[in-house]
């Protein structure tokens, strides 16, 4: 997930650095895992080289599934399922990725980039300069993608499909086509795999959202602290606060320290709560005792050696 987001933001930033503009399209599919056609899935598995006994094994895995409704003590009869991959099964994400594999090739044939993660499909259209409208290839790509989804028994939801326009700040809004009969409009920010992206890719919206969410859970943890052992309190803070600071934090590399400061304040507050010390207590020995890297170093911890993060 983090790798996909890093690739997307890197492509968008490179396009802006070269003086161009870009369009990020986040397609939303309705009940994607539940509408996978078993016959089509078996065919696409065979096309990828899964044949013979392995193909029969996967086919048997997909067969003989059913569902029924239980309400108020009443139970309906079993109804066979002829589509969909079982929710929660280890194989399901892999099977869905194979099912969606031909889409990326179709999108790239129109000159667009395609990034996929499970049922999240994101398209990137890169354009020279600052145009007022998208090229015809984009119209044709959307029509082809919509047709492909229909043929694959999938349905794109135009109302929940988001568009991020990365053009000149303060410039005119780009004219967009329709998707399945509904006009597309750019958004001030979009949520890509749980991360908020803004048109300037400053990540300020994302950092502010993470800080607010982490502070809320930190306040709840403070109320629970008198009733929890230290180990339990550590677990609560790790799960509800630190996990939010760490989520896809590779996207924060190169951000100004004034932006990172919001995350740093949350981390320091969490550390002082675990140590049971006042707010003005020196944070360095506390972080060392907890074996926590300061947030600015935690962000660059996984950065490859020899590569220096650039500052915005």
For the chain, the helix, strand and coil percentages under 3-state DSSP, each to the nearest 5: 50, 15, 35
Say what the pLDDT of residue 302 is.
Answer: 63
What is the average pLDDT across 217-240?
A: 94
How far is CA 204 from each of CA 25, 73, 118, 256, rounded to the nearest angstrom? 21, 51, 27, 10
What is the average pLDDT across 67-75?
A: 89
- 259/135 Cα distance (integer angstroms): 36
| Cβ-contact 145, 134 below 8 angstroms | no
Which pLDDT tens digit goes with each residue over 6-49?
999 999 999 988 989 999 999 999 988 999 999 999 999 999 99
Task: Quickly state the pLDDT bin for 130 (edges 50, 70, 90).
Answer: confident
| Cβ-contact 202, 257 below 8 angstroms | no
Residue 216's contacts (CB-CB under 8 Å, 6 or more residues apart) are: none
Asked if the model's pLDDT at residue 138 lies above 50, the reply is yes
Select from 222, 312, 296 the least CA-distant residue to 263: 296
Alpha helices in 87-186 (DSSP H): 91-108, 136-151
Say what the pLDDT of residue 171 is.
Answer: 65
What is the average pLDDT across 75-99?
A: 88
- 237/230 Cα distance (integer angstroms): 11
Maximum distance among all Cα pairs of the chain, rounded to whole angstroms: 67
Say what the pLDDT of residue 5 is.
Answer: 93
In terms of residues, how long is the chain? 312
Select from 194, 198, 201 the least CA-distant residue to 186: 198
Look-up: residue for tokens 């509408």? Answer: 35
What is the average pLDDT across 137-143?
A: 93
Alpha helices in the chain (DSSP H): 2-17, 38-47, 53-62, 91-108, 136-151, 204-224, 230-237, 243-246, 257-275, 283-290, 295-299
- 251/103 Cα distance (integer angstroms): 26
**Domain coordinates in residue numbering, the chain:** 1-33+91-197, 204-301
Say what the pLDDT of residue 286 is.
Answer: 94
What is the average pLDDT across 203-219?
A: 96
* 133, two tokens: 């409208």
- 70/244 Cα distance (integer angstroms): 37
What is the average pLDDT across 260-277?
A: 94
Q: 1-33+91-197 belongs to which CATH class?
A: alpha beta
Which pLDDT tens digit goes with each residue over 283-311?
999 999 999 999 989 888 866 544 444 44
Among 84-88, 89-93, 168-172, 288-292, the range scoring the smallest mean pLDDT is 168-172
Cα three-residue angle 61-28-241, rounded to 5 degrees: 90
Look-up: residue for tokens 């409704």? Answer: 69
Percent of the chain with pLDDT over 90: 66
- 55/50 Cα distance (integer angstroms): 6
Say what the pLDDT of residue 311 is.
Answer: 40
How far is CA 277 from each of CA 2, 59, 269, rounded to the nearest angstrom? 35, 59, 10
């Amino acid at each position: 997930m983090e790798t996909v987001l890093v690739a997307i933001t890197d492509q968008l930033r490179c396009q802006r650095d070269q003086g161009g503009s870009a369009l990020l399209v986040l397609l939303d599919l309705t009940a994607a895992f539940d509408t996978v056609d078993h016959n089509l899935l078996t065919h696409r598995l065979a096309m990828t080289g899964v044949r013979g006994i392995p193909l029969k094994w996967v086919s048997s895995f997909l067969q003989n599934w059913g569902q029924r409704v239980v309400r108020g003590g009443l139970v309906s009869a079993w109804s066979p399922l002829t589509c969909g991959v079982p929710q929660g099964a280890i194989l399901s994400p892999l099977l869905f990725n194979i099912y969606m594999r031909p889409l990326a090739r179709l999108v790239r044939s129109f000159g667009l980039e395609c990034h996929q993660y499970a049922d999240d499909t994101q398209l990137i259209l890169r354009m020279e300069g600052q145009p007022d409208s998208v090229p015809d290839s984009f119209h044709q790509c959307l029509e082809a993608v919509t047709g492909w989804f229909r043929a694959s028994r999938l349905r794109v939801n135009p109302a929940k499909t988001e568009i991020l326009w990365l053009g000149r700040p303060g410039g005119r809004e780009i004219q967009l086509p329709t998707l399945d009969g509904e006009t597309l409009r750019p958004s001030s920010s979009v949520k890509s795999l749980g991360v908020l992206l803004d048109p300037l890719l400053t990540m300020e919206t994302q950092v502010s959202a993470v800080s607010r969410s982490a502070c809320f859970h930190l306040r709840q943890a403070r109320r629970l602290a008198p009733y929890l052992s230290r180990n339990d309190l550590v677990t609560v803070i790790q799960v509800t606060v630190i996990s939010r600071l760490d989520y896809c934090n590779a996207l924060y590399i190169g951000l100004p320290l004034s932006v990172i400061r919001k995350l740093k304040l949350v981390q320091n507050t969490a550390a002082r709560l675990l140590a049971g010390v006042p707010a003005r207590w020196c944070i360095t020995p506390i972080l060392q005792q907890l074996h926590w890297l300061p947030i600015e170093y935690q962000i660059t911890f996984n950065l490859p050696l020899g590569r220096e993060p650039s500052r915005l």
